[in-house]
Structure 1
Amino acid sequence: MTVSRALSDAFIPELPNYYRGKVRDNYDLPDGRRIIVATDRLSAFDVILTSIPFKGQVLTQTARYWFEETADICPNHVLDYPDPNVVVGTRLDILPVEIVVRGYLAGSTGTSILTKYRNGERDMYGMRLPDGMRDNERLPNPIITPTSKAFDGGHDEPLSGADILAKRLLSEEQWDTVSNYALALFARGQARAAERGLILVDTKYEFGVDRDGRIVLADEVHTPDSSRYWLADSYAESFASGERPRSFDKDFVRAWVTARCDPYKDAIPDIPDDLIEQTSHIYVQAYEAITGNIFAPDLSEGSVLERLRKNLRPYF
């Protein structure tokens, strides 16, 4: 997993309407298609920390596996995969609500149900959780915990279904559609994960509307970045002892940084190569465990960017 194969930037000047996201570089074509390139950038603490070789390929190919596994449940934005790091999709008007589905009392962010539960909250996201639940306990049924999408760089805010309708973020028909899609996608994800010895704990979905008004699944689906997976054989013992079940721990870099500085105030030190390579191995391990496929890194051309330019030339 050579560090020199990391794709830090996917700017190709011959392609139109470039937009750089935290991890993905995007190009909007005049005919309504969007080219989405998953780079290897690793984002945390509101900055790019480093680039992890093959991370972009892992994310794209994991999402491809799930888009194909769930195409019978709902339409998705995919049109083509011209490169291992690239999806060409239909350009959508993204809905202003992020749909998070949770199957367990877990999480660490301010909007997670575990954080809120530990703080004494029981009423959240338009529902009530019972007293006496323990960290990482399985919920009676998966629940949807939507948040507002902070397009302006602000913080996501928890929402209930009633909030979504009252604020006219979605119509009642749209809310019903995305709710049904999300729960069906999650059920399929949990079932497939169980076959692989994994537990799909929670995940986020992003939906958009195409030019015909259809609601379409966008972005990525059930990847290691958008989802929490636990190793099923560790769950019972870990839950009994009050520990977090084992997972694909990709936070080596984040932990290494926070042990050495305040990343929101201090200059972030250079990330050592051995830590980058270790994280790359974890992403590959996650891909193979989630999909059941052997990861085949594309080492063609002198660099990933050269390969991208070759494979995307028909779009110039």
Structure 2
Amino acid sequence: MTRSSLSIVAGYALGNLITEGKTKKVYEILQSPDEVLIISKDRITAGDGTKAHVLEGKAAISTQTTSKVFEILNSVGIKTSFIKVVNETAFIARKCEMVPIEWVTRRLATGSFLRRYPGVPEGYKFNPPLQETFFKDDANHDPQWAQEQIISAGFNLNGVTIAKDEVDIMRRCTLLVFEVLEKAWASQDCCLVDMKIEFGIDSKGEILVSDVIDSDSWRLWPSGDKKLMKDKQVYRNLSNVTLSDLDTVKRNFKWVAEQLESLTPPTTGLVVILMGSPSDEEHCRKIEKECHKLNVPSQLRVTSAHKGTEDTLNILAEYEGSNKKVVLIAVAGRSNGLGPVLSGNSVYPVINCPPVKTDNVSQDIWSSVNTPTGLGCTTVIHPSAAAIAAAQILALSDHLIWSRLRTLAFNNYVSLKRADKIIRTTPMQ
């Protein structure tokens, strides 16, 4: 394409070409200075660009793949630069200054790792996943860098100096991204062997997962079988590339893009919050709000195990016949019969979350804790704890809820990191 033909794309007026890589171009957007347009190319490369071929249709497949991956990451709360797709070969992202580091995560030993560490058998499983970093430098074949080298380089991007805190955050986020996508692919019986990502710093100083994540970015082995690989390694392994070979690579990439559409199934779980009295609604609404933050469906009901035992059991029967994965949260103070009755008449998990009053704390808690033998209901006090506990149960069979919980833990980590940086760098008044 010529420069003039790219001046308007999907209604966006393009400015300067910011950068051009082996498989994409990045343009300024005149009406949105904080955004860029990323256009994929019908090109596949390997060996730092020494091996390259035109692969017609790859641009559209790569854009489809990248957009779906970033949509998954965004949906579970991970901060990325991706904004939206504008056509089949281009998408809009937040404008970032890129950290010149590739962040690699490995679950299984294969590829270059085996060449660097002879004696390790292929398929050796890393628990936790192994993390490595490589400086982006094609002329020197992207040399592996230690954390100390990244810190010592003193990269300053959009006013942010990449120091130990920033490296720690990116390393932790890299692991999060890998584990989220690993869980997603596992739901389709496909092993995410390893992958690489990159980070950018936007104009607000935010660290964002950036660039692209497509079939150039990872190794995928359906059913954990290397012979079934669907990634770019198929192309890397070719000594002589024929049109038939390129067609096989394209079919593999298309398979990946199509499979991604199945990685975000609708949530089938439900948290049912049962209150023993309408006066407990405020407490229950807090639990409901915390469930909503995690995108966990919830429903409120009013029933008293003491005053309307039959009705309580009828409500329970409704959910047992729903074929849904249900977690029950019982909200009852004073003499809590609701949680034990639910637990004693169902195999659904039951969590007590009594609405304790300041004048009766110990008695309210004790009535939920000291239940008869043979019952499995547990007790928490804070609404957020009840919602998280319920979500953790549902996460055993729902990788998206699992991912949101993992992201919640990461965000807590980042908040502490930032608070620590502020307090240690703020001079005494």
TM-score by length of 1: 0.70
Partner deviation per Cα, 1:150-192 (whole Å, 9 max, x = no partner): 2x74321212223322343521121111112111111111100
Q: 1:231 aligns with which of 204, 222, 229?
A: 222
Partner of 1:53: 56
Measure the CA separation in 2 of the matches of 1:180 and 1:253: 31
Partner of 1:128: none
CA RMSD of aligned residues (A): 2.4
Partner of 1:190: 182
Q: Does residue 144 of structure 1 match 2:113?
A: no
Change (3 A) 1:247 1:180: same
Measure the CA separation in 1 of the matches of 2:16 and 2:163: 31
Partner of 1:80: 84
Of structures 1 and 2, the one with the larger relative CO (CA 8 A, separation 6+) is 1
Partner of 1:103: 107
Partner of 2:228: 246
Partner of 1:292: 262
Measure how far apart 1:32 and its partner are.
Answer: 2.9
- Number of aligned positions between the proteins: 245
Measure the CA separation in 1 of the matches of 2:128 and 2:234: 32
Partner deviation per Cα, 1:27-78 (whole Å, 9 max, x = no partner): 1124132111112112235257332232112211112111111113421112
Change (3 A) 1:250 1:227: closer
Please say if residues 10 and 25 of structure 1, whose CA atoms lie closer than 8 Å, have aligned partners that are also in contact.
no
Please say if residues 73 and 184 of structure 1, whose CA atoms lie closer than 8 Å, have aligned partners that are also in contact.
no
Counterpart residue identity of residue 96, structure 2:
L
Please say if residues 98 and 204 of structure 1, whose CA atoms lie closer than 8 Å, have aligned partners that are also in contact.
yes
Between 81-90 and 21-30, the greater mean CA deviation after superposition = 21-30
Please say if residues 201 and 207 of structure 2, whose CA atoms lie closer than 8 Å, have aligned partners that are also in contact.
yes
What does residue range 157-176 of structure 1 map to in structure 2 within 5 Å?
157-169=143-155, 170-176=162-168
Q: Which has the larger radius of gyration?
A: 2
What does residue range 28-43 of structure 1 map to in structure 2 within 5 Å?
28-30=28-30, 31-43=33-45
SS in 2 for 1:114: helix
Between 43-52 and 20-29, the greater mean CA deviation after superposition = 43-52
- Structure 1 stretches (4+) deviating beyond 4 angstroms? 249-256
Q: Does residue 89 of structure 1 match 2:93?
A: yes
Counterpart residue identity of residue 141, structure 2:
H
Partner of 1:200: 192
Q: 1:154 aligns with which of 140, 143, 146?
A: 140
What does residue range 58-73 of structure 1 map to in structure 2 within 5 Å?
58-71=61-74, 72-73=76-77
More helix by share: 2
Change (3 A) 1:91 1:292: same
SS in 2 for 1:292: coil
Measure the CA separation in 1 of the matches of 2:60 and 2:104: 24
Q: 2:252 aligns with which of 261, 282, 287?
A: 282
Please say if residues 55 and 250 of structure 2, whose CA atoms lie closer than 8 Å, have aligned partners that are also in contact.
yes
Change (3 A) 1:50 1:179: same
SS in 2 for 1:16: strand
Partner of 1:238: none
SS in 2 for 1:70: helix
SS in 1 for 2:44: strand
Measure the CA separation in 1 of the matches of 2:187 and 2:107: 17
Change (3 A) 1:41 1:140: same
What runs of 5+ residues in structure 2 fail to find an aligned partner?
8-13, 156-161, 264-429
Counterpart residue identity of residue 163, structure 1:
Q
SS in 1 for 2:200: strand
Change (3 A) 1:145 1:249: closer
